[in-house]
Amino acid sequence: MTVTSNQSKGSFVAFIPYKLDIAGRPELSLFPLNVLFAKYKTVDGNVVIGKALYEPDLKSLSKKGTVFRMTYRNAYGGDGRLIIRYDFLKEKYQGEKFVRGESVGQAEGTEWDRFFMQFGVLGISDGERGE
């Protein structure tokens, strides 16, 4: 599922990711296969699209109390990362995005699609690696 919306400096594109599916690791299905942020705008009559892909660091999976947590790293390098949490007690997702060591935004939600739509609204940030 892809959602688009106009913003003042171009438009963002929100992608709803597939769930991570690894045999013998059912707890990983709480998390996405990957997370893609994108933004597009028109420059000199041409559509220009920028995107940043984040992939799971499976070794970072942890559980504290009722909360599972995993870190995602920018596939294009740099220090961009996401931290995604799922709280079983509250049945809620939380995500925070970091670029150059600084938090650039966060989102939360109880439904998979709505959470990732809100997370995707963060788009691409200044200094974020991508293509």
Count of domains forming the chain: 1
- In this structure, of 1-5, 27-31, 65-69, 112-116, the range with the lowest mean pLDDT score is 1-5
Q: Is residue 129 part of a domain?
A: no
Strand, coil or helix: 113: helix
Q: Is residue 52 part of a domain?
A: yes
Q: Is residue 128 part of a domain?
A: no
Q: Is residue 60 part of a domain?
A: yes
Render pLDDT for 61-110 as a digit per residue (tens, 0 to 9).
999 999 999 999 999 998 999 999 999 999 999 999 999 999 999 999 99
Q: Is residue 56 part of a domain?
A: yes
Return the CA Rg of the chain: 15
Contacts 24+ apart (CB under 8 A), 102-108: 104/128
| Helix then strand then coil, % of the chain, to nearest 5 | 15, 50, 35
Q: Is residue 130 part of a domain?
A: no
- Domain range enclosing 84: 2-120
| Residue (of 42, 35, 49) closest to 107 by Cα position | 35
Q: What's the predicted TM-score (pTM) here?
A: 0.86
